Amino acid sequence: MSGPRIVSLLPSATEIVAAVGMAEQLVGRSHQCDFPPQVRHLPALSETKVCLNGTSRDIDRRVNEIIAQGVSVYRVDAERLRALKPDVILTQTQCAICAVTPGDLEDALCEWTGMAPALVSLEPNDLSDVWGDMRKVGRALGVETAAERAIAALQGRLATIRDAAGRAANKPTVAAIEWIDPLMAGGNWMPELIEAAGGQSLFATPGQHSPWLDWRALAAADPDVILLLPCGFTIEQSLADLPLLQGRPEWAALSAVRCGQVYVIDGHYYFNRPGPRLVESAEMIAEILHPDRFAFGHEGRGWVRL
């Protein structure tokens, strides 16, 4: 294998590596990295300490119990990592709950012998940061030109969506729900995706972390459309959590619920990964909000209507 040996401990970084044409250089991944499919045969170098069975309420309680102990949510197989002898390790500092951080690598790095790998840490807070992270990965891997081509193609697709959506007569208000119990609104890049797709994002500010959401605020805003895209949840997992919403007295009174404008989206593969497939995420919102203008074919695979 010529070129740098790459370990990616972040799903979106793995997808960025593939987008810049360097997937064949990957030698290791996180337990969460599963796209593109060819990376699944690579050794997984991390695992979560959180049992992911049960509802969003159960998972939130377990995560908080671990955080209260002052320890990390993840384990990294330091011995296996060192054995792979990577030249570059990709990680992140955006969210210590969502993926492995540099702090989780401290033991492996402090005991390293020989030339230590380059540690490239990504911190995407909005769409401009996502493009910046793609450039950062491109520089680290020596493929700056390929990175710029990939960015230009993605930005072009997003601009096409924005232009077409901008001609729509209506811009429905949208609540993106990133966690079900307790309620959390989708922040960071999600408001930008909603605006690009021709909607008005509620509750969150572009570039700022996802805020907790009070049920009274949700009821008062009474959004036209509700998108359920819990972090790390597939469509099936989100559907299983619906009783937590339907059991609330405020739920049935919401306009979006009464009008059949609640949609479940695969947050695990799309919205929660700040990489190339954010553009596909925008496509999904566009065909949900403006079906007369957009039909990308994601319904049934990426999203379903309740």
pLDDT digits (tens, 9 = 90+) for 108-151: 666 665 677 888 989 899 999 999 999 999 999 999 999 999 99
Task: Say if 135 falls within a structural domain.
Answer: no
Kindly state whether residue 165 falls inside one of the protein's structural domains: no
Residue 44: which CATH number? 3.40.50.1980
Report if residue 138 sits inside a domain: no
Yes or no: say if 249 and 257 are a contact pair by the CB < 8 Å rule. no
Q: CB-hemisphere CA count at 13 Å for 272?
A: 25
pLDDT of residue 292: 95
For 126, what's the count of Cα atoms within 13 Å in the CB-facing half-sphere?
Answer: 10
More confident residue, 32 or 70: 32
pLDDT tens digit sequence for 256-278: 999 999 999 999 999 999 999 99
Residue 177 lies in a domain: yes
Verify that 20 and 114 share a domain, yes or no: yes
Q: Are strands 118-122 and 88-92 parallel, antiparallel or unpaired?
A: parallel
Distance CA 35, CA 33 (A): 6
Q: Which has the minimum average pLDDT: 1-5, 276-280, 282-286?
A: 1-5
Q: How confident is the model at residue 290 (pLDDT cuts 50, 70, 90)?
A: very high
- pLDDT score of 58: 79
Do 301 and 208 belong to one domain? yes
Q: Are residues 114 and 175 in the same domain?
A: no
**Distance from the first to the final alpha carbon of the chain:** 48
E strand or H helix at 305, and its extent? Answer: strand 303-305
111 shares its domain with 210: no
Same domain, 300 and 182: yes
* CA distances from residue 152 to 17, 28, 148, 155, 302 in whole angstroms, order as listed: 16, 28, 6, 5, 24
The mean per-residue pLDDT over the stretch 282-286 comes to 98
**pLDDT tens per residue, range 180-239:** 999 999 999 999 999 999 999 999 999 998 999 999 999 999 999 999 999 889 999 999
Q: CA 140, 73, 92 angle in degrees (round to 5)?
A: 15
74-114 per-position pLDDT tens digit:
788 888 998 999 999 998 765 545 556 566 666 666 666 56
pTM more than 0.85: yes
Q: Looking at the structure, do residues 176 and 266 belong to the same domain, yes or no? A: yes
Q: What is the mean pLDDT of the chain?
A: 90
Of 51 and 270, the one with more pLDDT: 270
* Average pLDDT rounded to a whole number, residues 70-76: 68
Residue 159 forms part of a structural domain? no
Structural contact between residues 146 and 268, judged by C-beta atoms closer than 8 angstroms: no
Residue 111 confidence (pLDDT): 64
User: Going by DSSP bridges, is the β-strand pair 173-179/200-201 parallel, antiparallel, or unpaired?
Assistant: parallel
Q: Which of 123, 140, 162 is the last residue of a domain?
A: 123
Assigned domain for 293 exists: yes
pLDDT of 108 reads 63
Q: Where are the alpha helices (DSSP H) in the chain?
A: 11-19, 56-68, 78-84, 106-110, 127-141, 144-166, 190-196, 215-221, 235-240, 242-246, 255-258, 278-289
128 in any annotated domain: no
If asked whether residues 192 and 113 sit together in one domain, one would say no
- Choosing from 68, 99, 123, the residue where a domain stops is 123
> In this predicted structure, what is the pLDDT of residue 98?
55
Q: Which of 57-61, 163-167, 257-261, 268-272 has the lowest mean pLDDT?
A: 57-61
Range of 85's domain? 6-123
115 phi, psi to nearest 5 deg:
-70, 120
Percent of the chain with pLDDT over 90: 72
Whether residues 80 and 203 fall in one domain: no
Q: For the chain, how many structural domains are there in total?
A: 2
* Same domain, residue pair 198 and 287: yes
- The reply to whether 178 and 112 lie within a common domain is no
Indicate the burial class of 243 (C-beta count within 10 angstroms; 0-12, 13-18, 19 or more).
exposed
Amino acid 2 reads S
In this structure, are strands 88-92 and 6-8 parallel, antiparallel, or unpaired?
parallel
**Contact of 62 with 73, CB cutoff 8 Å:** no
114 in the same domain as 240 = no
- 151 lies in a domain? no
